[in-house]
Structure 1
Amino acid sequence: MSAETRAGGGAPGYRVWAVPGIPEVQAGDDLVKVLAAAVMGEGLPGLADGDVLLVTSKIVSKAEGRIVRAGDREAAIDAETVRVVARRGTLRIVENRQGLVMAAAGVDASNTAAGTVLLLPEDPDASARVLREGLREALGVDVGVVVTDTSGRPWRSGLTDIAIGAAGVRVLDDLRGGVDAHGNPLSATVVATADELAAAGDLVKGKVSGLPVAVVRGLPHVVGEDGSGARAFVRSAADDMFRLGTSEAVREAVTLRRTVREFTDEPVDGAAVRRAVAAAITAPAPHHTTPWRFVLLESAEARVRLLDAMREAWIADLRGDGFSEESIAKRVRRGDVLRNAPYLVVPCLVMDGSHTYRDARRNASEREMFVVAAGAAVQNFLVALAGERLGSAWISSTMFCRDVVREVLALPEGWDPMGAVAVGHAAAPPRERPARVASSFISVR
C-alpha cells in the first residue's frame, strides 16, 4: 500500500523484497536482460507499474566495465578525486567526479577479482535511465530505478545505502509551503525519498548475501517522470555548511582570510563580530594575561567622529613633513577603506600584568611580547570574520594617532589602539593571491 492509499481503512504500507538468481555480472553484459530475467523468476511477484527497482551500483559498474587493474588502490582513489574533504591518516573523505562526497571516492576493492578495484558508474543517473527504458521495452512496465551505493553519514555511526543514480523517481519530496498535522507551516522540510528507498532495499539485499537488487511495491506516488536524478541530492558549495573536515577547514579558513577594501551596503551582524572576538581572545598571551580589548564602532556617528579626528591629525602630520596639499589629499584618500566600511573595530593592547625591568632592552622586549600577542588576536579575529563570510581589512592608522583615538572614543589611558579593522560584505571576490612557496620562508638548522 502507498502512504496515500488505504485498503479497507488499514494503515499505509509497502512491500520490499530482494531478487535472487542474478549471476555474476561481467563487463559488457546486457544488464537489462539480466534484471528482466531475474525479476520475472519463478515464485516472484514480477514487476508492475509503479514499482521501484533498487540496483546496487557494483553490478552496474561491472556491466559498464568500470573495473580497473590497481595494485595501488590509493592511485585509483587519486584519479577519481576532485577535492579532499577530510583526511585522517590513510582514510580520505573526498568529493569524486560524480559530485558525491564519500570515503575513498567510492572506489571499492570488495566483490571484485584480486588486483582490481571497482569504480562507481561514470554517470549513475544515465545508468538508471538506461535500465528504466530497457525494462519498459522488455517487460512493458513503467517503474522507477534507483542505483544505490553504501555510504557513511556525518554525525552518525554506521553505513547505509543511498541513491547515487535515479530515473523515474521523485528523489526529493519538497513539503515546504504545506502544513503539518497541527497546522504549523513547513518551511524547511524536503524529504530524501530516493535515499529512503535505497535504505529500505538494503534491509533485504544485505552486504554479503549476494542479492544486489530489490523491489519496492506500494508507493506508486514516488514514480513518475522526473528529470532531476540523484544529482539533485548534491548540495552546492555555497549551501554546504560542512564542506570540509576540521583540520582542512582550519587551513582553508586561514587562507580564506583576504584583505577586502570594497564593501556592499548590507548591514553587518553584530553577533557575528562578537563571535569573531570570542575566537580572537583565544590567542596566546604572556604571563597568563589577557592583553586584548576590542572597541566595536557600530554607529555611523561614532565612526565618522573618529575618522574625521584621525584625518585632521594625519593632515597635520603630513603638513609638518612638508608634503604638498595635492600629495596630502592623495594620501588621505587611502583612508577611504575605513570610511566606506559599514562597521569598524579598533583592537587595543593593554599591558596590564607586564613586567618592568631595570634596563630599556628588556622593557622593549617585554612590550614586543605583548604586541605579538595582540597581533595573534587580530589574526584570529580576521580569520573568524572570514568564517562568518565577512570581509575585512586591517589598517594601521590608529597606531599613528593613539592619543586622538583614546580621546574621541573615551578609552582608558592604558589602552593602545593597534590599527583598525574595516568589516563588511565584500563587494566583489578578492583578487587571487600570488602563490608563495613555503620553502622560501623556512630555514632548518
Structure 2
Amino acid sequence: MEVIAVPGLPEIRPGDDLAALVADRIDLRPDDVVVVASTVVSKAAGRTASLSDFEPGERAREIADRITALTGEAKDPRFAQAVIEESEALVLDAPFLLAKTRFGHVTVNAGIDRSNVPEADLLLLPEDPGASAQALHEALDVPVIVSDTSGRPFRHGQRGVAVGWAGMPASRDWRGEADRDGRELGVTVQAVVDELAAASNLVAGEGGGGTPVTVIRDWSFGDHAGSDELFRDREADLVRQALEDWTYEDDS
C-alpha cells in the first residue's frame, strides 16, 4: 500500500472546488481512495466563525466558569456556546467539553478547530461529512474519506479518524470467516475507514506543514462483507454511558 500526499494545494477558501483542485494535481486510478482533511472541506463550505457570533447563554457561562476553576485556565464562554450549538449532546462538560456531533461523532469541543484558520477565530466541522464525501466521490469517481484528528479513551495523543466516507463500506466484517486454526470469528469488525484515515494522517502531517489531501494506492477491501456502522449509539457505548452518568465534583 502506498500513501501519496497531493502536492501544491493552495489555501482553501469558501466556494473552492475541492474535487477539481485534487484532480488537477494527481492522476487518480480506479482503485485509489482519496482521504480529505475535514478542515479543507469546512473551509470550502465556509464553515468559519468568529467568537463574536456566539452569545453565551447561562449554561455556557456555567460551563466556562467551572472549567476555569478546575483547570486554572480561562475558558471563553463564547467558545463553550459554540460547542453547545454544534453538538447534539454534551457527553462531558468538565474538566473539558466532550460532545456528540449531529452526525454521530463523539469528540472534544465538537471538533471545533482554532489552528490554521486565517481571518477567523474558529473552524467548525462540516455539517454533514458523509454528504461532503459523497459529493467528492461522485466528482472524482473513487472512494473518498473525510478525516479528522481525534483522541481516544485510554490513549495519549491523537490520530486520524473518519468522520465521513462514500464509495466504500466503513468496515470489513470478518464475522463468520475462519482464523488459521479453523475457528470461526464471532466479533471481528475492522474499521477500515479509520485505519486508512490514520495512515493518511502520517503522511498528511499536522500544524504548519500539513498537506490536507492524500491518495491511498494499491489497497484492496478484499472479499469480505462490509458494514457502514461506525459510530456507536449510546446503548452500545459503555464508556459514553459511564461519562454521562458521572458528575464531576468541584471541591473548591
Do these two structures clear the TM 0.5 threshold for a shared fold by scoring above it?
yes
- Structure 2 residue aligned with 1:234: 231
Q: Which has the larger radius of gyration?
A: 1
Determine helix, strand or coil for the equivalent of 2:23. helix
Deviations 1:109-152 (A, max 9, x none): 1110254211111111110111111113xxxxxx2100000000
- Out of 126, 132, 143, the residue aligned to residue 127 of structure 1 is 132
- Structure 1 residue aligned with 2:81: 75
Deviation at 1:222?
6.1
Deviation at 1:30?
1.2
CA distance in 1 between counterparts of 2:197 and 2:204 reads 10
Deviation at 1:32?
1.3
Q: Which has the higher helix share?
A: 1
| Moved beyond 6 Å, runs of 4+ | none
Q: Is the 2:18–2:44 Cα contact (8 Å) retained in structure 1?
A: yes
Q: Is the 1:87–1:245 Cα contact (8 Å) retained in structure 2?
A: no
Determine helix, strand or coil for the equivalent of 1:102. strand
Q: Is the 2:36–2:145 Cα contact (8 Å) retained in structure 1?
A: yes
Any unmatched runs of 5+ in structure 2?
53-77, 248-252
The code of the aligned residue for 1:27 comes to P
Aligned length: 220
CA distance in 2 between counterparts of 1:84 and 1:172 reads 27
1:38 and 2:25 matched? yes
Determine helix, strand or coil for the equivalent of 1:166. strand
CA distance in 1 between counterparts of 2:119 and 2:134 reads 31
Alignment of 1:378-389 (within 5 A): none
Deviation at 1:87?
3.0
- Out of 9, 17, 31, the residue aligned to residue 50 of structure 1 is 31
- Structure 2 residue aligned with 1:249: 245
CA distance in 2 between counterparts of 1:177 and 1:220 reads 20
Deviation at 1:52?
0.5
The code of the aligned residue for 2:217 comes to R
When residues 240 and 115 of structure 1 are mapped into structure 2, their CA distance, relative to the original with a 3 A threshold, is same
Cα-Cα RMSD: 2.0
1:20 and 2:7 matched? yes
- Structure 2 residue aligned with 1:64: 45
Determine helix, strand or coil for the equivalent of 2:7. coil
Q: Which has the higher contact order (CA 8 A, sep 6+)?
A: 2
Deviations 1:320-360 (A, max 9, x none): xxxxxxxxxxxxxxxxxxxxxxxxxxxxxxxxxxxxxxxxx
Deviations 1:381-432 (A, max 9, x none): xxxxxxxxxxxxxxxxxxxxxxxxxxxxxxxxxxxxxxxxxxxxxxxxxxxx
Deviation at 1:244?
3.9
Any unmatched runs of 5+ in structure 1?
1-13, 40-45, 137-142, 252-445
- Structure 2 residue aligned with 1:96: 101
CA distance in 1 between counterparts of 2:145 and 2:153 reads 22
1:211 and 2:211 matched? yes
TM score, norm. by length of structure 1: 0.47
When residues 29 and 115 of structure 1 are mapped into structure 2, their CA distance, relative to the original with a 3 A threshold, is closer
What is the identity percentage for the equivalent residue pairs of Structure 1 and Structure 2?
41
The code of the aligned residue for 2:48 comes to I
Q: Is the 1:56–1:213 Cα contact (8 Å) retained in structure 2?
A: yes
> Which segment drifts farther, 146-155 or 168-177?
168-177
Alignment of 1:294-313 (within 5 A): none
Q: Is the 1:50–1:221 Cα contact (8 Å) retained in structure 2?
A: no
